[in-house]
């Protein structure tokens, strides 16, 4: 009996020791990862949340091909990325908008001129059910539909049906871009909001599933997420021809709901950084662009 | 024998610690929710929090549409799940022949094991189109669809707890009722079910608690439009639940921002609602037990 209880206490001590060493082990592994990075070259890449998934995919693919180069990607927004570039805490700034003149001024004050590179393009397609007779909408009509001023398909040449508006969640970069460039027409001080009854769906799949089966629905999503069983509406600026989105119309700038996505470097890139940026414009990296729903840049 | 005392002492303390740990965890959860959600009350004026518009990226933090959405879905789910669940429990416990009972019980427990994401998929593919076409609604992504799915999620809990409660009614009650000439139906409706009502109430409350906290299925089928619900027809419109809001927005929100604090405040509100439901259930159980004791004495 005596020995039994002693051995039990001992095994408890062992269990505690084991647990403690496991915890310590966990902490040590995270440190080891950083040491390995320090051995090779690390490229810091910070900025736009729209670009963050694409930048991560590139970083991962590049690291697999060239294991001695690690690209560490952080989001935070285009402004945060460009500020980090000016302060010298990042090598690449991702941006979903062109750099502002005052940001160039700040960089010049630090002794360099930011170099711009268009790495991908982002186009947003306006989608309806294949049974919907509406083929084309002006940007103003699209804006009026999503802000709630138009709520029946009859008002834009369709059937007498209520309009069900579908949008991505508010934290999606696509949502913000659509709000600023379609609903607010890119105007400062324009406070137009999405109609409150706009359905906010957490995924592209949610949007396409609803549009596929509901003839009342209208939605929007990145061009790369559009499946063939949805109908894409041709869109036009006031007085311009109606244009369907495609890799070609996005690249020649005729499709109106599209933007360039940029990477900025502090001055002309060289060495590892230049290799990485050259790889990004290559066919392998641009294939990843298409798979994530963006439009590849044509060389 | 005396030497085994230390081991016994350790074991007793471990069991005690395990018992108290539940209280400690709930306390810690409340503490962290309050610590992260509290600042929202200082950062956002109260009239903004009580406004009818939720659009967090532009500083509209009105919680009422989300609170209303959760209430509409939960009430709808309760209206569906409570009668169905209790009647199923009565059937399984009192009416069903032995073989049917042995098939039904495991099947109902299997329903409880279906992940809510899978139910959400079924919701999107089956319920959403059917509800839109049969009811003639603009869209099937509505509070009703969410309520039906939550009802499906709550039913197994209700059936399982209520069935145990009905089963626990002493055999002598039924024998006495039958001996007095009551029919089977009268025995069930006037004797067995009233005798088990404490357990049945607990079952419904547990089901409601399960429904309030459910997230994934709700996010997939209710449309998540933050519309302030008004009246009964809100059941047929898209709504945005509190749980879905937290799940959809927490991933991308900047740590420590006002939006982040408001999301935690929603967590506090959910916690308080769940606590209230449990307290109501506990007080009903307590009151009925006291009454039963009075009758017996």
- Across all residues in chain A, what is the average pLDDT? 80
Query: What is the C-alpha separation between B262 and B254, in angstroms, rounded?
Result: 12
Q: Mark yes or no for CB contact A169/B249 under 8 Å.
A: yes
pLDDT higher than threshold 70 for residue A5: no
Res A218: pLDDT: 93
Res A197: pLDDT: 86
**Cα three-residue angle A162-A166-A171, rounded to 5 degrees:** 150
**Burial degree of B255 (CB within 10 A; 0-12, 13-18, 19+):** exposed
* DSSP SS3 for B253: coil
pLDDT above 70 covers a percentage of chain A that reads: 87
Closest CA to B76 of B228, B236, B272, B273: B236
> Contact B73/B143 with Cβ under 8 angstroms?
yes
Which residue in B65, B138, B249 is closest to A164 by CB distance?
A: B138
Query: What is the C-alpha separation between A182 and A259, in angstroms, rounded?
Result: 12
Write the pLDDT tens digit of every residue in A131-144: 889 888 888 889 89
Mean predicted confidence (pLDDT) in A49-75 = 87
Res B293: pLDDT: 62
Retrieve residue A199's tokens: 């359905």
- Residues of chain A contacting B138 with CB distance shorter than 8 Å: 161-164, 216
Query: What is the C-alpha separation between A236 and A141, in angstroms, rounded?
Result: 10
pTM of the entire predicted model: 0.75
pLDDT higher than threshold 80 for residue A11: no
Of all helices (H) and strands (E), which one includes residue A236? strand A231-236
Q: Which residues of B touch A (CB under 8 A)?
A: 1, 3-4, 6-7, 10, 53, 55-58, 65, 124-125, 128-129, 132, 138-141, 219-220, 223-228, 237-238, 240, 247-249, 251-253
Q: Mark yes or no for CB contact A202/B248 under 8 Å.
A: yes
How large is the greatest C-alpha to C-alpha distance in chain A, in angstroms?
Answer: 96
Mean predicted confidence (pLDDT) in A89-114 = 86
Write the pLDDT tens digit of every residue in A154-198: 888 888 889 999 998 887 777 888 888 888 887 777 888 888 889
Q: How far away is chain A from the Cα of B137, in angstroms, using its nearest Cα?
A: 9
Cβ-based neighbours of A59, under 8 Å, separated by 6 or more = A45, A70, A71, A72, A73
- Residues of chain A contacting B122 with CB distance shorter than 8 Å: none
Res A256: pLDDT: 87
Res A238: pLDDT: 80
* DSSP SS3 for A119: strand
Mean predicted confidence (pLDDT) in A98-123 = 87
| CB proximity A210 to B under 8 Å | yes
Q: Mark yes or no for CB contact B226/A196 under 8 Å.
A: yes
Res A3: pLDDT: 40
* Long-range pairs of A18-24 with CB within 8 A, sequence gap ≥ 24: none
Retrieve residue B62's tokens: 């009105």
> Looking at chain B, which residue has its C-alpha nearest residue A75?
B252
Write the pLDDT tens digit of every residue in A206-216: 888 889 888 99
- pLDDT, mean of each 10-residue run, chain B (297 residues): 74 91 90 88 84 84 89 91 92 87 87 85 88 85 90 90 88 89 88 87 87 86 86 84 87 77 91 86 74 59
- Residues of chain A contacting B252 with CB distance shorter than 8 Å: 49, 171-172
> Contact B204/B295 with Cβ under 8 angstroms?
no
> Looking at chain B, which residue has its C-alpha nearest residue A207?
B223
Cβ-based neighbours of A245, under 8 Å, separated by 6 or more = A123, A124, A125, A223, A232, A235, A255, A257, A258
Res A111: pLDDT: 87
Which residue in A12, A162, A194 is closest to B138 by CB distance?
A: A162
Q: Mark yes or no for CB contact A217/B139 under 8 Å.
A: yes
Which residue in B1, B237, B252 is closest to A171 by CB distance?
A: B252
Where do the domains of chain A lie, and which CATH numbers do they carry?
8-122+261-291 (3.40.190.10), 123-251 (3.40.190.10)
Please give the residue that has the higher pLDDT: either A30 or B160. B160
Give the sign of the dihedral formed by CA A181, CA A185, CA A188, CA A189: negative
- Residues of chain A contacting B65 with CB distance shorter than 8 Å: 196
Q: How far is CA B140 from CA A173, B71, B78, B254, in A?
A: 26, 19, 20, 33
Helix spans in chain B (H): 5-43, 46-49, 64-90, 98-113, 116-122, 128-135, 143-167, 171-179, 184-186, 193-195, 197-213, 216-221, 242-250, 258-296
Retrieve residue B196's tokens: 């088990």
Burial of A114-144, coded b for 16+ CB within 10 Å and e otherwise, reads beebebbbbbbbbbbbeebebebbbbebbbb
DSSP state of A98: P
Res B289: pLDDT: 67
Res A148: pLDDT: 87
Write the pLDDT tens digit of every residue in A220-271: 888 877 888 889 998 888 888 888 888 888 888 888 888 888 999 988 888 8
Q: Mark yes or no for CB contact A216/B129 under 8 Å.
A: no
Q: How far away is chain B from the Cα of A117, in angstroms, using its nearest Cα?
A: 26
Res A1: pLDDT: 35
């Amino acid at each position: 009996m005596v020995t039994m209880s002693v051995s039990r206490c001992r095994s408890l001590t062992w269990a505690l020791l084991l647990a403690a060493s496991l915890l310590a082990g966990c902490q040590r592994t995270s440190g080891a990862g950083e040491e390995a990075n320090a051995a090779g070259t690390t490229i810091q890449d910070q900025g736009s949340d729209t670009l963050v998934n694409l930048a991560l995919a590139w970083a991962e693919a590049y690291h697999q091909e060239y294991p001695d180069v690690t690209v560490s990607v952080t989001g935070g927004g285009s402004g945060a990325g460009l500020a980090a570039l000016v302060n010298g805490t990042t090598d690449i700034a991702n941006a979903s908008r062109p750099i502002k003149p005052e940001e160039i001024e700040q960089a010049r004050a630090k002794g360099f001129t930011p170099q711009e590179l268009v790495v991908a393009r982002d186009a947003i397609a306006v989608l309806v059910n294949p049974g919907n007779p509406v083929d084309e909408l002006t940007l103003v009509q699209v804006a009026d539909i999503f802000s709630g001023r138009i709520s029946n398909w009859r008002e834009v040449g369709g059937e007498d049906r209520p309009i069900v508006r579908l949008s991505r969640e508010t934290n999606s970069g696509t949502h913000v871009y659509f709000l600023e460039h379609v609903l607010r027409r890119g105007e400062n001080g324009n406070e137009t909001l999405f109609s409150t009854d706009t359905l906010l769906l957490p995924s592209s799949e949610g949007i396409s599933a609803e549009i596929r089966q509901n003839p009342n629905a209208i939605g929007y999503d990145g061009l790369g997420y559009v499946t063939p069983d949805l109908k894409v509406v041709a869109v036009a600026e006031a007085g311009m021809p109606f244009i369907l989105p495609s890799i070609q119309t996005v690249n020649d700038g005729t499709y109106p709901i599209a933007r360039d996505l940029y990477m900025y470097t502090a001055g002309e890139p060289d060495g590892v950084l230049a290799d990485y940026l050259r790889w990004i414009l290559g066919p392998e990296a641009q294939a990843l662009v298409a798979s994530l729903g963006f439009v590849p840049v044509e060389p | 024998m005396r030497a085994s005392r230390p081991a016994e002492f350790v074991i007793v303390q471990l069991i005690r610690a395990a018992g108290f740990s539940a209280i400690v965890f709930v306390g810690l959860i409340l503490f962290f929710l309050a610590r992260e959600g509290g600042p929202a009350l200082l950062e956002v004026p109260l009239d903004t929090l009580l406004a009818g518009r939720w659009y967090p990226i532009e500083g509209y933090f009105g919680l009422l549409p989300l609170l209303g959405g959760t209430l509409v879905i939960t009430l709808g789910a309760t209206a569906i799940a409570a009668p169905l669940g209790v009647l199923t429990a009565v059937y399984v416990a009192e009416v069903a022949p032995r073989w049917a009972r042995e098939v039904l019980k495991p099947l109902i427990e299997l329903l409880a094991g279906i992940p809510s994401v899978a139910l959400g998929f079924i919701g999107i593919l089956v319920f959403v189109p059917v509800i839109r076409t049969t009811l003639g609604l603009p869209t099937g992504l509505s509070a009703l669809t969410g309520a039906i799915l939550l009802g499906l999620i709550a039913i197994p809990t209700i059936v399982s707890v209520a069935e145990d409660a009905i089963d626990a009614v002493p055999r002598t009650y039924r024998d006495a009722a039958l001996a007095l000439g009551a029919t089977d139906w009268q025995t069930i409706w006037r004797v067995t079910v009233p005798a088990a009502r404490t357990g049945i109430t607990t079952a419904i409350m547990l089901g409601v608690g399960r429904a309030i906290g459910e997230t994934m299925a709700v996010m997939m089928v209710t449309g998540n439009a933050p519309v302030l619900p008004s009246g009964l027809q809100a059941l047929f419109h898209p709504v945005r639940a509190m749980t879905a809001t937290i799940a959809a927005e927490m991933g991308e929100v900047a740590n420590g921002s006002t939006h982040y604090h408001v999301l935690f405040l929603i967590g506090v509100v959910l916690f308080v609602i769940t606590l209230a439901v449990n307290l109501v259930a506990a007080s009903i159980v307590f009151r009925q037990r006291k009454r039963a004791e009075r009758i017996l004495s």
